[in-house]
Structure 1
Amino acid sequence: MSLTAPARLGIQLQPQHATYGQIRDAVLRMEDLGVDVVFNWDHFFPLSGDRDGLHFEAWTMLGAWAEQTERVEFGTLVNCNSYRNADLQADMARTLDHISAKGGDTGRFIFGTGSGWFERDYDEYGYEFGTVGSRLDDLAEALPRVKARWAKLNPGPTREIPIMIGGQGEQKTLRLVAEHADIWHSFVRPDAIAHKLDVLARWGERVGRDVSEITVSNELSRGRLDDDHADALYDAGVRLFTLGISGPDYDDAPVQHWLAWRDRRNDAVGVDAA
């Protein structure tokens, strides 16, 4: 968790209550505004508002994002491991990596993943919901398979695809973060981050990895522009800040606010988010 790393801003364009044209236009605006990462989410139904409203599938959408964008990184916040075979996930990720590589550059896909939690998705699409523990066990089994498949694919990925793992459980999730993640994402309060990082460091010692290289990611306050909260997250070591915005409008105003905040923080320590 390098304190000299730049602050970066990721915007989660929640793929709900909007036409795909509105989502496509929002992606272009986010890149033009200067955000660092554009995310969607991996669900099959809206999570707020009309629960049977307009909604689109995540990974299919990411193929279009990979082609239409030039600079911004992108991915799911986060993929549900339960919905797709681990080796298939790896192949899909490798393909997105190549689609997004432009002009000889490396790809821009971030493999965000987690164990899943939204029971309606499971029930309506015929997946076994299981328990929190069984879903985490499935994720633990899948992650080595994903990395092994990347090593076998022809062609392989254009870069070491960053793995983002979401969650905060200390017995299973943080061990998986220590073993596999380049980015750890959670909703942990600023005053609880130090404890979680201590747990993560102890897992790192057990699995033989220096976890200081892991980027800490957290969510900005929804519904309000709370600079004090963001400052506290930054001071606790967070360097990737995420904000979810929903269709149909995908309001730019909070995005512009947090971009200005990001730039002030980076200017203060003389680093560049790019």
Structure 2
Amino acid sequence: MTTPQRKVRIGVQLQPQHADYANIRDAVVRAEDMGVDVIFNWDHFYPLYGEPEGKHFECWTMLAAWAEQTSNVEIGALVTCNSYRNPDLLADMARTVDHISGARLILGIGSGWFEKDYDNYGYEFGTAGQRLDALGEALPRIEKRFEELNPSPIRKIPVLIGGGGEKKTLKYVARHADIWHTFATGDELTRKIDVLRGHCDNESRDFSAIEISVGAGGRGRDGRTPEPPEVEGQPLLDAGATLFTMGMTGPDYDLSNVEPWLKWRDEVNANRR
């Protein structure tokens, strides 16, 4: 019997920068009405590009609001910074948003990298290796806290780990994640997937249980117009990716490029059994 192929999914990341919250709330409505599968934000305290001191909102309070506002779409952070919250507290927050949403939360998490956030909010930045080690220590604590919470999460909350480090990050993915997110493409993506397979073998983990998530919808070869999804998406799909996420920034959150990806998703899924 042939194993069914994983369905293609489309996500949007509504970056909580350079916008009033009314604009963000409206974008969430539009994205869900269009039929996207996942709406992400990100976990920073300042804009990552544009005016560095521009408008910006906090990640997890926003996710709780989205949980009440939406009905069908999955929601999550792409990604939560492990450094900013005690792991047991983060597990409790995730469990709470899981209940508010009716089991639609994805717990996206990474080791952190944006030094300005750390410096201005009083967190120790340390080294990349130290932050990765801290993530490795936090993930089992999060899993343990999920088991101890009353009430427990409605479902096994999917864990998404972002990052491409081949020695540590991909090992954590093999041990703990349901979804791996990367911005790698081409030969780099293929190599990292092979490395992840190796970690899964070492951890006695079924590689096929991990969804491969990639960034998509960027500027095309002309530097302006995005490539059609059948041009950009197909090579990523052939490599093994099935979750494709486009980033959108404020104040307007232009979702016009999402519609072709949704059409492509539906065409691909109609042929995947």
Question: Shift of residue 263 of structure 1?
Answer: 1.6
Are 1:18 and 1:55, in contact at CA under 8 Å, matched by a contact in 2?
A: yes
| Percent of matched pairs sharing the same residue | 58
Q: Residues 207-260 of structure 1, C-alpha deviation per residue, up to 9 Å, x if partnerless?
A: 221122100000114234213121110111100001000011111211112212
Question: Shift of residue 190 of structure 1?
Answer: 2.6
Are 2:216 and 2:246, in contact at CA under 8 Å, matched by a contact in 1?
A: yes
Question: Shift of residue 194 of structure 1?
Answer: 2.3
Question: Shift of residue 3 of structure 1?
Answer: 7.5
Of 4-13 and 207-216, the range deviating more from structure 2: 207-216
**For 2:19, what is the secondary structure of its paired residue?**
coil
Counterpart check, 1:179 vs 2:182: no
| Matching of residues 82-161 of structure 1 within 5 Å | 82-101=83-102, 107-161=103-157
Question: Shift of residue 205 of structure 1?
Answer: 1.8
Counterpart check, 1:40 vs 2:41: yes
Counterpart check, 1:239 vs 2:251: no
**For 1:253, what is the secondary structure of its paired residue?**
coil
Runs of 4+ in 1 over 6 A off after TM superposition: none
**Please, which runs of 5 or more residues in structure 2 have no aligned partner?**
220-224
Q: Residues 123-153 of structure 1, C-alpha deviation per residue, up to 9 Å, x if partnerless?
A: 0000000111000000000000000000000
**Partners in 2 of 1:99 and 1:192 — Cα distance?**
38
**Partners in 2 of 1:257 and 1:60 — Cα distance?**
31
Match of 1:202 in 2: 198
Match of 1:261 in 2: 264
**For 1:192, what is the secondary structure of its paired residue?**
helix
The number of equivalent residue pairs is 264
**For 2:260, what is the secondary structure of its paired residue?**
helix
Using structure 1 for the length normalisation, give the TM-score: 0.94
Q: Residues 110-129 of structure 1, C-alpha deviation per residue, up to 9 Å, x if partnerless?
A: 00000000000000000000
| Matching of residues 157-168 of structure 1 within 5 Å | 157-168=153-164
**For 2:257, what is the secondary structure of its paired residue?**
helix
Are 1:37 and 1:72, in contact at CA under 8 Å, matched by a contact in 2?
A: yes
Of 206-215 and 172-181, the range deviating more from structure 2: 206-215
Counterpart check, 1:212 vs 2:208: yes
* RMSD, matched Cα: 1.2
Question: Shift of residue 192 of structure 1?
Answer: 2.3
**Please, which runs of 5 or more residues in structure 1 have no aligned partner?**
102-106
